Chains A and B, each alone.
Chain A
Amino acid sequence: SAVISQKPSRDICQRGTSLTIQCQVDSQVTMMFWYRQQPGQSLTLIATANQGSEATYESGFVIDKFPISRPNLTFSTLTVSNMSPEDSSIYLCSVTSGVYEQYFGPGTRLTVT
């Protein structure tokens, strides 16, 4: 199994500013995922981050808005840049371990005012 921590757990930010979310895993993993979840809705995949390579972004998400770093096999960051109220959401970090298991962090609840 994998235990994932995220920082911060929540934040309130002003529009136009940026926030960097950290994801730390207690074991080395190859694939890390960043999701966004609006309250009461599903998880939308933002990007997949593999160590040593550029993140792969899903349709509707761009690197300038959501830059991702993956410096090693246990850590990743997601930055939400030039925020607007539409970016208010829960941001989830996730990893895969073993054959198929996918584990999730507790999430970062972001409110943009």
Chain B
Amino acid sequence: AQKITQTQPGMFVQEKEAVTLDCTYDTSDPSYGLFWYKQPSSGEMIFLIYQGSYDQQNATEGRYSLNFQKARKSANLVISASQLGDSAMYFCAMSPKYIFGTGTRLKVLA
């Protein structure tokens, strides 16, 4: 069975600062993937970043990076230089089951 846990229901960050959103997981699958999605108030799901369980390096996509610590079973999302438009719900998800965590609501303050 797979399980995803996000322990931060809400986070605040000052504009231009970096923020880390936590995600831990549990799985018995030797091969899996970890994803982060952004869901703004409009409701659309926006893919941000992916990390494969066998990837040696942490994934990066522009201002997004994934801090993957396999031994600790964590896959935290780091957003650098936060922007007001980053205010949204953020979900961590996992394959092959494609299940989602409970989400973290991020608010960027001007």
Q: Chain A interface (Cβ within 8 Å of chain B)?
A: 33, 35, 41-45, 48, 90, 92, 94, 96, 100-104, 106-107
Contact = CB atoms under 8 A, between A and B. Distances in A.
A96 B44 contact: no
B91 A42 contact: yes
Given A42-B102, A107-B43, 15 more contacts: A35-B100, A41-B102, A42-B91, A42-B101, A43-B91, A45-B98, A45-B99, A96-B98, A100-B33, A100-B35, A101-B50, A102-B93, A104-B44, A104-B45, A106-B43
B56 to A, nearest CB: 16
Nearest to A48: B98
- Chain B binding surface, main DSSP class: strand
A102 B102 contact: no
Contacts, number: 42
Interface residues of B, number: 18
B98 A101 contact: no
- Chain A binding surface, main DSSP class: strand
Contacts of B40: none
Given A33-B98, A45-B99, A96-B98, A102 B35 contact: yes
A75 B34 CA distance: 26
